[in-house]
Chain A
Amino acid sequence: MNKIKIQLSDVHKSFGQKQVLRGVDLDIYENETIVIIGQSGSGKSVLLKHIIGIMKPDRGHIYVDGQDITQLSEEELMKLSRKFGMLFQGAALFDSLTVAENVAFGLRRHTNLSEEEIQQVVKASLERVGLRGVENLLPYELSGGMKKRVGLARAIAYNPEIILYDEPTTGLDPIRADAINELILQLKKDLCVTSVVITHDMNSTYKIADRIAMLYDGRIIEVGTPEEIRNSSNPVVQQFINGRATGPIEEW
Chain B
Amino acid sequence: MTRQVLGAVFENFFFELGQVFELGWQAFKSIFKKPFEKANFLQQLEEVGVNSLLVVSLTAAFGGLVFGLQTYLAFHRYIGPGSESQGGPIIAVGLCRELVPILVGLMVAGRVGSAMAAEIGTMKITEQIDALFSLGAHPVRYLVVPRVLASLIMVPILTLYGDVIAIFGGFAYNVLLMKVNKTLYVQNTLKYFEIWDVSVGLIKALIFGLVIAVVGCWQGMTAEGGAEGVGRATTKSVVVASIAILILNFFLSKVLPSTLR
Closest to A55 in B: B130
Tell me the nearest residue of chain A to B142, going by C-beta: A109
- Is B138 at the interface (CB under 8 A from chain A)? yes
In chain A between 133 and 160, which residues have their CB closer than 8 angstroms to a CB of chain B? 154-155
Task: For residue A196, give the distance in angstroms from its CB to the closest CB of chain B.
Answer: 13
Among A88-96, A173-181, A207-215, A231-239, the one that faces the other chain is A88-96
Residues of A within 8 A of B131 (CB): 86, 88, 92-94
Q: Tell whether B257 is near chain A: CB-to-CB under 8 Å.
A: no
Residues B136 and A81 in contact, CB atoms below 8 Å apart: yes
- B70 in the interface, Cβ–Cβ < 8 Å? no
Number of interface residues of B (CB under 8 A): 14
Q: Does A78 make an interface contact (CB < 8 A)?
A: yes
- Tell me whether B133 is interfacial, beta carbon within 8 Å: yes
- Choice from A85, A89, A94, A95 contacting B134 with Cβ under 8 Å: A85
Q: Counting CB contacts under 8 A, is B126 at the interface?
A: yes
Q: Is the CB of A78 within 8 A of B128?
A: no
**In B29-50, which residues have CB < 8 Å from any A CB?**
35
Q: Mark A42-85, 1 if CB is under 8 A from B, else 0.
A: 00000001001110000000000000000000100011011011
Chain B residues near A74 (CB, 8 Å)? 138
Residues of A within 8 A of B135 (CB): 81, 105-106, 109-110, 154
B137 at interface (Cβ–Cβ under 8 A)?
yes
Task: Return the CB mask of B123-151 against A: 1 if under 8 Å, else 0.
Answer: 10011101101111110000000000000
Q: Which residue of B lies closest to A74 (CB)?
A: B138
B130 touching A49, Cβ below 8 Å: yes
Let me know if B137 and A52 touch, CB within 8 A.
no
List the A residue with the shortest CB-CB distance to B135. A106
Instruction: Say yes or no: B136 contacts A92, CB within 8 Å.
Output: no
Contact across chains for A78 and B127 when beta carbons are under 8 A apart: no
Assembly CA distance A53 to B130 (angstroms): 10
Indicate if the CB atoms of B126 and A82 lie closer than 8 Å: no
What's the least CB distance linking B121 to chain A, in Å?
13
> Could you tell me the distance in whole angstroms from the C-beta of A210 to the nearest C-beta in chain B?
23
Contacts of A92 in B (CB 8 A): 126-128, 130-131
Contact of A90 among B127, B133, B136 (CB under 8 A): B127
List residues of chain B with CB within 8 A of the CB of A95: 122-123, 128
The CA of A209 and the CA of B135, in the complex, are separated in Å by 26
Mask for B97-128, Cβ within 8 A of A = 1, else 0? 00000000000000000000000001100111
Bound complex: CA of A89 vs CA of B127, how far in Å? Answer: 8
Min Cβ gap A211→B in Å is: 24
CB distance from B29 to the nearest CB of A (A): 10
Q: A86-B131, A94-B131 are in contact. Are A106 and B126 (CB under 8 A)?
A: no
The answer on a CB contact under 8 Å between B134 and A105 is no
Which of A54, A105, A109, A110 is in CB contact (< 8 Å) with B130?
A54
Give 13 CB contacts A-B under 8 Å. A49-B130, A74-B138, A78-B138, A79-B136, A81-B133, A81-B135, A82-B136, A88-B127, A89-B127, A92-B127, A93-B128, A106-B135, A154-B135
List the 6 closest A-B pairs by CB distance, nearest first. Answer: A109-B136, A106-B135, A92-B131, A92-B127, A86-B134, A88-B127
Q: A82-B136, A95-B128, A109-B35 provided; 20 other pairs, C-beta below 8 A? A: A52-B133, A54-B130, A54-B134, A74-B138, A78-B138, A79-B136, A86-B130, A88-B127, A90-B127, A92-B126, A92-B131, A93-B128, A94-B128, A94-B131, A95-B123, A106-B135, A106-B136, A109-B137, A154-B135, A155-B134
